[in-house]
Structure 1
Amino acid sequence: MLSFKSRTSLLRRFGEDEGGNIALTFAVSAVAIMGCMGAAMDFSTLSNAEARSQAIADQTALTAAIFVRDNNHKPEGDDNGYLEGNHTAEDLGYEFKGWVDGGASNVNVSLVYDDSAKEARVKVTGRTVPTFMQIFGKKSLDFEAESIASYLQIDDKHPASIALVLDNSGSMNWDDKIANSNGSSPAGANPRIDALEDSVNKFSADLSSRLGTEDSSGQKTIRMGMLPYSSNIISDNRVDMKWGYLTPNEVNAMTPSGSTNSNPPMAEALQWMNVENTYHQNEADRANEDYREPLKFIVFMSDGQNTLGSYEFLADDTAPVLWRQNYNGSWSGAWASSYPNGRNGYTRGHLRRNTDRLTIDSCNTLKAQGAQIFTIGYALDVGDYHANYRNQPYATEHVNLWNQTNAYNLLLSCASKAENFTTAGDTQQLEEAFDEIQNAIVKELIRIKS
């Protein structure tokens, strides 16, 4: 055993040892950094749950108020509407991720029909399960959202034209979640195309139940079309603009294959919208009603960058990659993080396809004409994905930072505003993205109190 003198001498040497101080400082700093990261993850989870619950509250309140407006009474018995009282999110057909305590079956949706105020009031409550904060005894984090829809402020539905531009390239066969280390599919993974079909079917069915096909005068109000694409528009699967909504047979016909080129479908969507006013004008004339110019919406979903078209370079000091064009016309790149001060002959910026530029040109024209564009970047987390190739059970395909950056740049550039662009990492997030777009469209077409 060390003597008291030996112990104090050892402590003095440790205190004077700069290396020991550095190690101690690093250890303390690391704990603080890890704590901040853990807390940030927990509150990010809570924020996602709050956003999801707000979408559910808005949709439920609007649907309830529309029922009363159309039927002059609140739902009772076997009526096709939401009954007053408490429901679970699962009962109403919604899902929540596993990090919500008990899942959708433990998220409460309270609905009250207030005939005095002429409004439907909805409150959604639940709790998330934190990871880091459990260390400090915090076993759950509560979330809630509220929405009110007034019966009296719901006008007859405004006419609208909705076009879906949907990536059906070969990568839509891949899983939606990053593969296990051996290349196999992780738990809960789905082929991307299956998730897209399910999300679009729900999107179309929900819009149909909430908006119907006619206003109170019998005038048809909603037109919808779909443009699946790979290297070009997939002619066998396209659904030209029509009165009404997409059917499951039309949606489930989508089949992924080939390369990616979003220019032809976006140019076609522009042509569609250029003549939509005429269809709505003719319908107003038929119904002997005043013509109202239709609101126009584009939903543009892609799971990767365009792979066809010639390259164009755009200088950008914030871009993650340095590029240079070689003597033979080819391009080579280096990560800017590896060469923070630049590299001889290289310039920091974006190397995009001309098909990106042409797509953005069509988007800009649509926006200038008043169309609202929503965009979704799907399953673009960097990593390896199980490719679902026949006879290759562990084959994977890789999404890198450059692929992700190019895809996000295109989708963000096309969106009408930054908040109209969203990312969806997996099947449930894709459904949530379509739900949010659906709510935004309904709010544009039907006035809501709050």
Structure 2
Amino acid sequence: MTKMTQKRMLLSRLGSDRRGNFAMMTAFALPVILAAGGFAMDLSNMVLKKAELQDALDSAALAAASALSSDKKSVTEAKAIALTFFKTQMTNKTADSSAASAFKVDIQEKALAGSAKSFKVSTSSDLKVEFNALTRLMGQTSSTISAAGTAESATGSKNALSMFLVLDRSGSMSFQTNEIASTTVACQNWTSSNWGGNPKATTPCYVRKIGALKTAVASLFGVLNKIDPNNEYVRAGAVSYNDVMQTEKPLAWGTANAMSYVNALPEKPEGGTDSHSAFAKAYEKLAPTDASKETEIGEHKKKSGLDPVKFIVFMTDGENTHYDGKSGTTYAKKSDDDTLTACTAAKAAKITVYTVAFMAPTRGQTLLRSCASSSANYYAAEDMTGLISAFEEIGKSAAAIASRLTQ
């Protein structure tokens, strides 16, 4: 074999040898892989820092709004409180310093009816996030996160609210509760077993479900009357239903008109159950948002200058059996479906929906549980005491929500 042939064979072996390729590819790819890993870590860190910054700005805005309304602080004092609160909420001291330097707070003050005022507090800041050494391999050293927070409050009464009751007055509302009305005066104690007949009047005489409902509504309105004794901030309306919807009592200042409507419900209600039209009516009356028109917002704006918080209180003791006067399983389901559609629309329109199932069967409970704004807004009452307690709690909750700072 000649020397020339040996050289050719050596060059051929070198050209076909792939053993060094992986090392070369790794050498080129490793920086990219490391940088990608570093970027993933920094991205997670930025998400956490963004959330921390947002929470701090929201807290600062709420603190300032509360100081203006509850503590009667001046605008200058409220701004100082906002900055202090913001610094306290930030956990990283280096980030705290840079974010505090970029922190801004703006307070808009507006005169309301009488001597009352409303405040809108806006906060904002930037936070510089330093990248780790791996991300810096890509040439990026840091990024800036921005966020903003807002809160509103008002001096004087902040209890502007509109509430519409949707109440069951079907035949089962004639049934007795476990509460004794009289031990000496006899009455017909209706139950599911004797409904449709003519039972003999007996003692003790028990409170009927409809009577329990009237007492429960009075307890709810009693709470609202305490926060608005002069009928300046609360508007209430009501509608009842059995297998059809009855004419509603329109929303009016105070609770007296709605209470008179409830007290006028028959002592012996009759008929089946169809809630869809009544709930849709409540939604229709509360949903419009154009303050320039004759809407709930417009009515409150004209009288107090406040935006009302809106509520629907939906109660049943049964389950839907009809749809627009027609009975049957298909119609009952359609009533459930249409009621739930209206519930969804109401919640989307920022109307808080409370529901109360009063000794109701499973399907009725399921509908009301789905309709409520949250599990905390659903009440299951198994007796008269539970019903009154539920309505009273709804009154307290509505008053608290109306008084709460809005974020």
- What is the TM-score normalised by the length of structure 1? 0.46
Work out whether residues 300 and 307 of structure 2, in 8 Å CA contact, stay in contact via their aligned partners in 1.
Answer: no
Selected match of 2:371 from 405, 411, 414: 414
Query: Deviations along 1:350-391, whole A, 9 cap, x unmatched?
Result: 9961100000000000000100000011023xxxxxxxxxxx
Q: Report the Cα distance in structure 1 between the residues aligned to 2:203 and 2:375, rounded to whole angstroms.
A: 32
Paired residue type of 2:210: I
Selected match of 1:439 from 389, 393, 396: 396
SS in 2 for 1:406: helix
Q: Report the Cα distance in structure 2 between the residues aligned to 1:205 and 1:434, rounded to whole angstroms.
A: 10
Q: Does 1:365 align with 2:345?
A: yes
Q: 1:446, CA displacement in angstroms?
A: 2.0
Q: Report the Cα distance in structure 2 between the residues aligned to 1:194 and 1:264, rounded to whole angstroms.
A: 24
After superposition, the Cα gap between the structure-2 partners of 1:271 and 1:405, relative to the gap in structure 1 and judged at 3 Å, is same
Q: Report the Cα distance in structure 2 between the residues aligned to 1:186 and 1:363, rounded to whole angstroms.
A: 42
Q: Report the Cα distance in structure 1 between the residues aligned to 2:154 and 2:226, rounded to whole angstroms.
A: 19
The equivalent of 2:172 in structure 1 is: 171
The equivalent of 2:223 in structure 1 is: 206
Q: Does 1:299 align with 2:279?
A: no
Q: 1:154, CA displacement in angstroms?
A: 7.8
Q: 1:188, CA displacement in angstroms?
A: 7.9
Matches within 5 A, 1:143-162: 156-162=157-163
Q: Report the Cα distance in structure 1 between the residues aligned to 2:393 and 2:205, rounded to whole angstroms.
A: 23
Q: Does 1:243 align with 2:244?
A: no
Paired residue type of 1:374: Y
The equivalent of 2:19 in structure 1 is: none
Q: 1:155, CA displacement in angstroms?
A: 5.0
After superposition, the Cα gap between the structure-2 partners of 1:197 and 1:285, relative to the gap in structure 1 and judged at 3 Å, is closer
- Give the number of the structure whose residues are more often helix, by fraction: 2
Q: Report the Cα distance in structure 1 between the residues aligned to 2:296 and 2:162, rounded to whole angstroms.
A: 9
The equivalent of 1:375 in structure 2 is: 355
Q: Report the Cα distance in structure 1 between the residues aligned to 2:313 and 2:236, rounded to whole angstroms.
A: 11
- What is the TM-score normalised by the length of structure 2? 0.50
Q: 1:246, CA displacement in angstroms?
A: 3.2
Q: Report the Cα distance in structure 2 between the residues aligned to 1:155 and 1:422, rounded to whole angstroms.
A: 32
After superposition, the Cα gap between the structure-2 partners of 1:160 and 1:194, relative to the gap in structure 1 and judged at 3 Å, is same
After superposition, the Cα gap between the structure-2 partners of 1:426 and 1:305, relative to the gap in structure 1 and judged at 3 Å, is same
Matches within 5 A, 1:224-303: 224-235=236-247, 238-247=248-257, 248-255=259-266, 256-275=269-288, 277=291, 278=293, 279-283=295-299, 286-287=302-303, 291-303=305-317
Paired residue type of 1:162: M
Number of residue-to-residue matches in the alignment? 228
Query: Deviations along 1:286-333, whole A, 9 cap, x unmatched?
Result: 45x6x43311100001000001149xxxxxxxxxxxxxxxxxxx98xx
Q: 1:225, CA displacement in angstroms?
A: 0.2
After superposition, the Cα gap between the structure-2 partners of 1:365 and 1:281, relative to the gap in structure 1 and judged at 3 Å, is closer
Long gaps (5+) in structure 2: 1-69, 71-152, 180-188
Matches within 5 A, 1:120-131: none
The equivalent of 1:61 in structure 2 is: none
Q: 1:212, CA displacement in angstroms?
A: 2.8
Q: 1:433, CA displacement in angstroms?
A: 0.4
Work out whether residues 213 and 387 of structure 2, in 8 Å CA contact, stay in contact via their aligned partners in 1.
Answer: yes
Q: 1:239, CA displacement in angstroms?
A: 1.1
Q: 1:201, CA displacement in angstroms?
A: 1.9
Which one has a bigger Cα radius of gyration? 2
Q: Does 1:191 align with 2:208?
A: yes
| Percent identical residues | 28
Work out whether residues 322 and 331 of structure 2, in 8 Å CA contact, stay in contact via their aligned partners in 1.
Answer: no
Q: Report the Cα distance in structure 1 between the residues aligned to 2:399 and 2:355, rounded to whole angstroms.
A: 17
Instruction: Give the stretch that moved more between structures: 220-229 or 429-438.
Output: 220-229
Long gaps (5+) in structure 1: 1-68, 70-151, 215-219, 311-329, 332-349, 381-403
Q: Report the Cα distance in structure 2 between the residues aligned to 1:406 and 1:156, rounded to whole angstroms.
A: 40
